[in-house]
Amino acid sequence: MNTLLAIDTGLKETAEVAFGTGAPADLMGTIGGLLGAGFALLGVIFLALMIYGGYLWMTAQGSDEKVKKAIKTISSAAIGLVVIVLAYAITSFVLSSVQSAQQGGGAPNCRLETRCFESLYGEECSEVQVCD
């Protein structure tokens, strides 16, 4: 048997998620999928704006107005991409902070244990706080 063909690439799971034929996902999985699709669409829009701005610049033929329009298109697309990435990063940070706060964490599980050890003076014991 060819071992190369036996490699699990995850394509089946990807197809199930993409076409909605797999097991129903939880709310967070659905939202994550929608966000991923939205970011993919925004990436395509960014790429299209960059290509359009580059095309305008290359076909400006020395016209200052066309060059300014091309530069404005490219810089606006770049600024938009930065804003989107920062918004995602801030949202991700806030949501992970809220989620960890909801899960609690609280104080560690601590207890007192008696530990004994041999010393020069015989066996000595003391209470030690042990936390999980």
pLDDT tens profile 54-68: 999 999 998 999 999
What is the tally of structural domains in the chain?
1
* pLDDT grade for 6, boundaries at 50, 70 and 90: low
Q: Is residue 78 part of a domain?
A: yes
Element containing residue 124 per DSSP (H, E): strand 122-131
Round the average pLDDT of the chain to a whole number and report it.
81
Residue 3 domain-assigned (yes or no): no
According to the model, what pLDDT value does residue 44 have? Answer: 94
23: pLDDT confidence band, cut at 50, 70 and 90? Answer: low
* pTM score: 0.55
Query: Looking at the domain assignment, is residue 72 inside a domain?
Result: yes
Residues 84-110 as b or e (16 or more Cβ within 10 Å = b): beeeeeeeeeeeeeeeeeeeeeeeeee
